[in-house]
A and B are shown apart, each in its own frame.
Chain A
Amino acid sequence: QVQLVESGGGVVQPGRSLRLSCAASGFTFHDYSIHWFRQAPGTGLEWVAVASADGTIKFYGDSVKGRFTVSRDNSNNVLYLQMSSLRPDDTAMYYCAREPRSSVGGPSAFYFDFWGQGTLVTVS
């Protein structure tokens, strides 16, 4: 079955860096775009970044652009999120999720069908 498992969260001081991982199994990893999301305590969901199936196309949310970098290792079925210049408002649960391929062809379906359980990042 499809599984996504995040890791790498923890407590980090403002201005420091942290790398999150999202390990995938149960599907052909290199066929799918994978996204990062976050949810600050008691608040709603926020889209963070996406890496295309082959890792060549990447987009970022405005609040992390220039500070976070998404990458993937398709040989080992892992997505990464390198976070730098961390701020207290980056404190959140970070989730990865899979974007299905379009039902009519093309790489993007514009929704997210499987999510990991999240890893907590605290910047303090």
Chain B
Amino acid sequence: QSALTQPASVSGSPGQSITISCTGSSSDIGGYSYVSWYQQHPGKAPKLMIYEIGNRPSGVPARFSGSKSGNTASLTISGLQAEDESDYYCCSYKSPDSYVFGTGTKVTVL
């Protein structure tokens, strides 16, 4: 199963906004509303940040938002903070009966 395509790295200064793209196909991102995003600090387990394209679980700051257009999903961090420096992975349900993750994006806060 081919991974979804994410930029390897994205950086921004504190307070800036950054967007991470996640590109798939009509059999995953384009065909379903089941896109989620995970934050993973080094040596730690992934943490759910966004589900169903743009929904935030309780406890996730409002500066995290998600969207989708066609076969590409996006995660935006508005008002970047130092603690947002981490790896981020998108994930999509993929027909039939499987899931595919993105290649991962390292976010650096300058």
Binding site for B on A (CB under 8 A): 35, 43-47, 59, 61-63, 95, 97, 109-113, 115-118
Contacts and interface: CB of A to CB of B under 8 A. Distances in A.
B46 A110 contact: no
A9 B37 CA distance: 27
Interface stretch (B12-20, B67-75, B76-84, B99-107): B99-107
A110 B1 CA distance: 18
5 contacts: A45-B40, A62-B1, A97-B46, A109-B51, A117-B44
Interface residues of B, number: 26
Contacts of B98: 47, 59, 61-62
Given A46-B101, A118-B45, A111 B89 contact: no
Contacts of B34: 110-111
Contacts of A46: 101
B57 A44 contact: no
Contacts of B91: 45, 47, 111-112
Contact of A111 (B40, B52, B102): B52
Contacts of A97: 46
A66 to B, nearest CB: 15
Nearest to B32: A110
